[in-house]
Structure 1
Amino acid sequence: MNTKQLKEFNIPFVGLKLGIHQFEYEIDNTFFEHFDYDEFNSSNISIQLEFNKKSTLFELKFYARGTVNINCDVTNEPFDLPIENDLFLVIKFGTAYNDENEELLILPHGEYEVNVQQYIYELVVLGLPQKRVHPGVEDGTLDSDILDKLEELSPKKETLKKDNEEIDPRWDKLKNLLNDK
């Protein structure tokens, strides 16, 4: 993905003293639109970045906290999904740019700044669960037409009992053979 770099995510490390530096970013859907990512109805995420400048390398610790409003995979009802994820990245210098390793970024000698927007994007998007289920589905408090229809179409417990009661008694003899081992 050849995404234009957003200047507010550039960190000019040349002017930074050795040691730990804090950066904060508040991101919402305009950030994700930049990546053509439109699965969120809305988002409100705080990114904390701890940038540790050492003499030969940098250590970056990203922390994402906040919520995204997303549609439930079961009912399609929108809900606020809490986001909490972190990422550790080491930046070293080499002959050529290389970001093939997800925990190591190599910048060419002579670079004076690094853009962290891709790491923030991945931190949030990869922090999402595979299946996004409304908490009301799990605890039974969500009132939804789709859930009502799923309940209506699911097999009833009484039906299952009746099916079990009508089993031919000869099958019980076979089950006993299995249990006698």
Structure 2
Amino acid sequence: MKKDSQYDINIARLADKTHHFAFDLDRSFFELFDQELIPDGSVHADITLTKTERLITVDFDLRGTVRQVCDRSLDDYDQKIDAQEQLLVRFGEETQELDDNVLQITPDTQTLPLAQHLFDYIGLALPMKKLHPRFQNEPDENPDADATLIFTTRKEGEDDSDDDDTDPRWNALKNLN
């Protein structure tokens, strides 16, 4: 990612209260990242930052569309984005990412860079299967695809009760109650 301070928030100057920020993310934002996942888009990000003495809570509300390529037809289409995420920033001895949504920074940190978090949250809001809207209402070719039996040890035509093939020693052990 290229460095761009327009998506940084100067937290050193903020008072301990709730603050609101807004960013409009367009092609120039997505070009900051060396990637092909999202080539273009128009996303409005409303950010609510609540700063306290020990913790900063950043709530993201992302709405808009991003340009995607359909997995089936390879046609471009606009994918709707509507996501709400939360980032917790706590103060500690060193700067590190503790979890996906928990960040630790030092108390003398001046700015909080949000560009990577904005991009990641938009990426997480994308569906795994990218389908052009004209394909989204089509039924699957095989609606029971998830319930298809892949492997079994039973031979076709065998009965579920396998008492006939059971070793007689196991039958004797079953009667030891």
- TM-score normalised by L of structure 2: 0.73
Q: Is the 8 A contact 1:52 1:59 kept in 2?
A: yes
The equivalent residue for 1:10 is: 8
Q: Is the 8 A contact 1:29 1:40 kept in 2?
A: no
* Cα distance between partner residues in 2 of 1:40 and 1:116: 17
**Partner-residue secondary structure (3-state), 2:129:** coil
Q: Is the 8 A contact 2:88 2:102 kept in 1?
A: yes
* Cα distance between partner residues in 2 of 1:104 and 1:35: 22
The equivalent residue for 1:107 is: 105
* Cα distance between partner residues in 2 of 1:105 and 1:139: 40
**Partner-residue secondary structure (3-state), 1:15:** coil
- TM-score normalised by L of structure 1: 0.72
The equivalent residue for 1:88 is: 86
Q: Which moved more, 1:126-135 or 1:29-38?
A: 29-38
* Cα distance between partner residues in 1 of 2:40 and 2:33: 15
Deviation at 1:22, TM superposition (A): 0.5
Deviation at 1:41, TM superposition (A): 4.8
Q: Is the 8 A contact 2:18 2:50 kept in 1?
A: yes
* Cα distance between partner residues in 1 of 2:13 and 2:95: 21
* Cα distance between partner residues in 2 of 1:89 and 1:139: 34
Asked if residue 139 in structure 1 is aligned to residue 125 in structure 2, the reply is no
Map Cα deviations across residues 19-65 of structure 1 (whole Å, 9 max, x no partner): 11111111112212211123345310011110001121111001110
Q: Is the 8 A contact 2:98 2:104 kept in 1?
A: no
- The one-letter code sitting in structure 2 at the alignment partner of 1:84 is D
How many percent identity over aligned positions? 23
Structure 1: runs of 5 or more not aligned: 141-153, 155-174
Q: Is the 8 A contact 1:57 1:91 kept in 2?
A: yes
4+ runs of 1 displaced by more than 6 Å? none
Computed over aligned residues only, the root mean square deviation of the Cα atoms, in angstroms, reads 2.1
Q: Is the 8 A contact 1:5 1:115 kept in 2?
A: no
The equivalent residue for 2:55 is: 57
Q: Is the 8 A contact 2:30 2:40 kept in 1?
A: no
- The one-letter code sitting in structure 2 at the alignment partner of 1:118 is Q
Map Cα deviations across residues 86-144 of structure 1 (whole Å, 9 max, x no partner): 2111111111111141121110121121111111010101110001111112336xxxx
Deviation at 1:18, TM superposition (A): 1.7
Deviation at 1:68, TM superposition (A): 1.1
Residues 1:96 and 1:85: Cα distance change in structure 2 (over 3 Å): same
Q: Is the 8 A contact 1:32 1:38 kept in 2?
A: no
Q: Is the 8 A contact 1:98 1:106 kept in 2?
A: yes
Count, aligned residues = 143
The equivalent residue for 1:128 is: 126
Q: Is the 8 A contact 2:7 2:113 kept in 1?
A: yes
Q: Is the 8 A contact 1:5 1:117 kept in 2?
A: no
* Cα distance between partner residues in 1 of 2:40 and 2:108: 39
Q: Is the 8 A contact 1:67 1:80 kept in 2?
A: yes
